[in-house]
Amino acid sequence: MKITIAQLNPIIGDIKGNLEKMKDVIQRYDNSDLIVFSELFLVGYPPRDLLERKWVLQAVERAIEQLKGISKNAGSTGILFGAPVSTHRNFGRGLYNAAVLIYQGKLIMCQHKSLLPTYDVFDEARYFDPAEDIGVVEFKDEVLGISICEDAWNIPEPWQKQVYKIDPISILAKKGATIFINISASPFYINKEKIRFKIMKDHTLKYRVPFILVNQVGANDELIFDGRSICIDAKGFPVEVFPPFKECVKTIDTKAEGKEDGFIPQDEIESLHNALVLGIRDYMRKCGFEKAIIGLSGGIDSAVTCCLAAEAIGPKNVLAVTMPGPYSSKGSVEDSQKLVDNLGIKFIEVPIKQIYLSYLDSLRPHFEGQKEDITEENIQARIRGNILMALSNKFGYLVLSTGNKSELAVGYCTLYGDMTGGLAVISDVPKTMVYKLAHYINRSSEVIPDAIIKKVPSAELKPGQTDQDTLPPYEILDQVLYHYVDEGCSAEEIIAKGFDPETVRWIVKAVNRNEYKRRQAAPGLKVTTKAFGMGRRMVIAARYEY
């Protein structure tokens, strides 16, 4: 059987636009036996509370009817796609997450998703009811075992346990499936493709049945989808591995034999870089922004963010702003100038010293008798945030904030200051990984000046300031944060791993007390297993042991 895999980038809620994408593929690949699109393709993933709008669901129903009409003229080509469909019951959520198979104007099969994830960024039980039945369908010379994303993930590895009571793939195998097809919207994080490939390969080896995974590509809000759709033969060898982070439509033959070395994982930092570039590009495109503005401090975080933005939307669409203050070093401005020269982007300077002094003059009567402290530092950061927002409002730029995960975790950032922005590009990238990104960006030539990479990190908000005056060394900080935030270890468990008790307790306490800041942060692109944002739901007003 010739199956066309359509790895495409839908826009959430754009049912008309997503349908047009489908029409285009159907017209161009009408010699295929079957064309397969990804999970919930008609509405895009994740649609979230759009699923609670009747007019959205009515638009989906009309689109499905149109696809039935299109399939009448598609010859012997079947169309398999994801969509929300009604349960036609007056209890429960009232919707299924469905894989819909249409052939020659008729609905041949509608397989509903069985396993509804409710962990991390997923909240599917909020919207959908689970499938009441799992079945196969005879189609041409094959028996299709159709599943949807999570349905293929209920194996002990990599979770060290079986999360759900049933295993849909096992049921499909017992019912005689001769080929597995999984339509997916599986979000990216570093090295996830290795886990995904192993799971699919294990299914083929266990049941000796070929496996096709069709995964969504593109970025929606915080989530990035890497694609990497794949076809694996019955021996567990890849027949076709789709490219990461870009649309691709290709036809494969289910009888083709794969190659043992057919799957080569991406380099970690390369995949991180490309994911962030896609995340910026899609967020801006889908939100209607053409240009971005970034505050350049002369530090590595803003430099990396600037490079990512220039690659995502083109240098001519990026404006960099340096805002030297009373404690800014001469080198910070000069290094920023070198960076923008290398990138070929527009660069302006807006000094803040006089604005800052004006603030102090206005507040002096009210601050009388008080020593200078972090308040005066934060005033500088907030002035800079206001300047960026003023330029954003005037010219329609999207402000990209530049704080990293390490800073956001412990609150080493200023609310309404350097946290200002519409998208927090590297908020899920630990500081130590930011340096790796910088070296990757400079892999062919020096884009980021070496002086920026080598300089001691500093907010430059008071004389002689460095990050390490306040924070533990980033090499230690990032390890402890990984154990606490990503793995969920307690302070005592982390200390038992050999870390200094005082350092660990300081970090854990800092993470907990700064939850209120993160709740007000811009959306951040998710690239690790546990990002601050939609996948981490911690309380603010709480008291608990750590």
Residue 298 counted as an annotated binding residue = yes
Residue 95 counted as an annotated binding residue = no
How many angstroms from the chain centroid is the CA of residue 46? 11
No. of H helices and E strands in the chain? 17, 19
Residue 300 counted as an annotated binding residue = yes
Residue 407 counted as an annotated binding residue = yes
CA–CA distance, 243 with 228 (Å, rounded to integer): 6
122 in Cβ contact with 155 (< 8 Å)? no
Residue 302 counted as an annotated binding residue = yes
291 in Cβ contact with 316 (< 8 Å)? no
Could you tell me which residues come within 8 angstroms of residue 382 by beta carbon, excluding any fewer than 6 positions away? Answer: 414, 416, 417
CA–CA distance, 195 with 117 (Å, rounded to integer): 17
CA–CA distance, 9 with 502 (Å, rounded to integer): 47
> Pick the catalytic residue: 21, 113, 338, 431?
113
Residue 192 counted as an annotated binding residue = yes
Residue 402 counted as an annotated binding residue = yes
Catalytic-residue membership of 149: yes
Kindly report the CA angle at 107 between 102 and 113, in degrees rounded to 5?
Answer: 85
Nearest C-alpha neighbor of 422 from the set 254, 266, 239, 294: 294
335 in Cβ contact with 451 (< 8 Å)? yes
Residue 24 counted as an annotated binding residue = no
Look at residue 410 and give its three-state secondary structure.
Answer: helix
Residue 401 counted as an annotated binding residue = no
Residue in the block written with tokens 């036809």? 251
**DSSP letters spanning 190-236:** TTHHHHHHHHHHHHHHHHT--EEEEE-EEEETTEEEEB--EEE-TTS
Residue 386 counted as an annotated binding residue = no
Catalytic-residue membership of 39: yes
Beta bridge partners of 180: 145, 211
> Pick the catalytic residue: 21, 124, 142, 149?
149
CA–CA distance, 10 with 39 (Å, rounded to integer): 10
282 in Cβ contact with 256 (< 8 Å)? no
DSSP percent split of the chain into helix, strand, coil, nearest 5: 40, 20, 40
Q: What is the DSSP secondary structure assignment for residue 484, as one 8-state letter?
A: I
Look at residue 43 and give its three-state secondary structure.
Answer: coil
Catalytic-residue membership of 110: no
Residues belonging to the chain = 546
**Per-residue b or e along 420-447, where b marks 16 or more CB atoms closer than 10 Å to that residue's CB:** bbbbbbbbbbbbbbbebbbebbbeeeeb
Q: Which pair of structure tokens corresponds to residue 489?
A: 């270890």
Residue 301 counted as an annotated binding residue = yes
To the nearest 10 degrees (0 to 180), the angle between helices 300-313 and 268-287 is 60
Which positions are catalytic? 39, 113, 149
Residues within the annotated binding site for L-glutamine? 119, 186, 192
Residues within the annotated binding site for deamido-NAD(+)? 378, 407, 517
Residues within the annotated binding site? 119, 186, 192, 295-302, 378, 402, 407, 517
